[in-house]
Structure 1
Amino acid sequence: MADMNLNEARSYLNYLLTLSIRREEAFGALAFTFIKEHDMEALGLLPEEQFNLLMAIIQAFAPEPKRYTQKLELLKRAKELQSRTSYSNPELTRQLDYDIRKTQAELNIYDEAMRPAGQPLDKQLLIVQSDVPDYILDIAQKRAGTYYQKKYHLTKEAKAGQHFSGGARKFEPDNEDVHREFPGACGPFMNSRANAFHLMLPFDLKITRKPEDPLEAGVRVFYAKEGYSFPLAYDMDKLVSYNDGQVLPLDLDDPNLIFVSASRVKEPEFKYQIGDPSPENPPEFSYPRAIIERMGSLGTFLQMVSNFKVWFDASRVSVLIQGAPDLHEYGLQGGSGLMTRTHASDKIPAYAESSKEPWQEGL
């Protein structure tokens, strides 16, 4: 419907108004999308036709203050338009004025409730350390935001449909015009993904129970089950201890084995080299290999050690960490917890380190 002539526009307008008269659930989303995507004046629609559609949309808005910004905009458009219609009269003008004032007042009450003035917060500083600061603090956050925005993207109709959820409904599971109950329409759902701080890796990981077809940068093997885990290595068709090379009585089809492999760096803006570059340690392999070499295990969980540290005043701040929320789609589960002090509470050097730099005092 990008390019319409007058006849097509008038036909679609009549269709929309028919939906409105029938109180069809799809009306609001379709009509709101239509007036957003088309200049009704340029299409040649009569002022009366435009006014009728605007008023029908206004009446269809859900009675929720968070929708009133759009409702107020359409009321003002309708007021400007009505003087050019055959409906123009002082009583209608007065009624539109009343509706505009009422909607504006309710919107102000909503805004004040949602954004209370409150007392200024005592800001707390979080200081981070990383092997790859430019990547983790900038590039990774952009990539994560883009990933979630794309994954949960709403169509224009679904986005518009959020404003019109208050009317009567019929059972229409196959009518895509009334589909609007998507995760991407939920503000808290999207905020927890798009606005969180993401620890991402610039390469792919493959986690499997089978050793076939590993990724190219390197492989780690772990024996992992509830309550116990052990690092392994693969040597001469045998599984051996990662610590001392002792051959272990394990078969490759043991159900407790986990094979983790890493790809070359996939992020084109990642420019870090771990160690000296060489034919055996090219830039695209050095960081993935460093990460999987530092890997650990804890029961059935794998620990990816990325040397990312957060310094904070644990007497005033806690940091919530959790696995990516869509890990379950890949058959995985992420660990989560509230960090209130250093995880290295059993390591004296971790505390000694916190007094080396002036900025670390009290953190």
Structure 2
Amino acid sequence: MQDDIDVYNVVVGSIVILTNTALLAFILSKRQLRITSNILLGSMLICGILTGSVWILLAVYREIYRIPIICAIIPMFQQSAFCNTSLHFFIIIIERYYAIAHPFSYQQHHVIKIKILIAILVIWIISLSIVIPMIPLKSIDPSNCTFRNTVGSVDKIYLTVVIIALFFLPLLALLCGYSRILCILLSSQHDHLQRNQILQRLLQKKKAIIQAVAFIGVFILLCVPCAAAFIVLINITEKDRENPILTEFITISIRFLLIYPAANPVLFAIFTANIRKELLKYLYDRSKSPTQQSLLSHDTRINRTTVSNYNLFLNKIGLQSSPSKDLSSIITPTSSSAKTPTSSLISPITLNPMFEFHTHVYHDQHTTV
């Protein structure tokens, strides 16, 4: 059974490293994604990479459990890692809510960036220091390094409070944050609607609903069972802990919990608008055949050569009075020449570059994209 657990930890740890590293590298490789809104996400991805690396190390090098100090640190590291992820997730939800509820204040880029950097520093300090009160309470038995030997009667209350804070406060933030976001999205456009039209408009906000259901559902499925199991485990007698049903439930819930750091990057890649846009663009470009790419490159070179020759001709005959009046404006129209509707009013919802749902109002006509 122990060998199966080790293999599982290696596989899951590898997936955690793969998903977090892939998304972090993709964000860093795209200039459009190196924005303030993704700083928090990048910090959370770094935590996921470190967590997966430690899992693989512990699963491969089993002798490390015989070191007394490591035996004491391992449970605390797991709590600290999940605390770090939970706090990042908690702040990201608050940041998205703030961007929707107070878009004009959110546009103060310098102030928001400083606040986010301070929040990241606080998150790492809290996650590393939250286990410090437990160190003097540890009873270490290096010959049998198990959860049972690291939980005494003195620290039951502390562990219960920590587990509730790490598991259920983020869930509460998810429920409150997305509920409030949905209310803002509805009330910002549809105050003039009749009650019988609210349900129809709500269905049009299916993207917001799907995102909320996905994040909340994954958190409940992967995290809450483990939290409930550990709260029960640390508050029952030694004899009751030998119950095979409880032991099996704890094993399964821990395995589900280990998947959560791997699922987070996938969710953010799918439901973060700017990341998904760049990712789809990247996949589309990669899917083109070499022939198509060479043709596009050839057409681009022809256009550039034509523009250059045309400008030289105008210079020779003395007809080019302004650099802007050249063939490049014909072949590649600028944004100023494109016919775009002039908006008399832009909804504040459009000001969040990270959130999924953008609503524009053109001359009192509602258009949702």
User: TM-score interval w.r.t. the shorter chain?
Assistant: under 0.3
Please give the TM-score of this superposition, normalised by the length of structure 1: 0.27
Give the number of the structure whose residues are more often helix, by fraction.
2
Please give the TM-score of this superposition, normalised by the length of structure 2: 0.27
Give the number of the structure whose residues are more often strand, by fraction.
1
Query: Highest relative contact order (Cα 8 Å, sep 6+), 1 or 2?
Result: 2
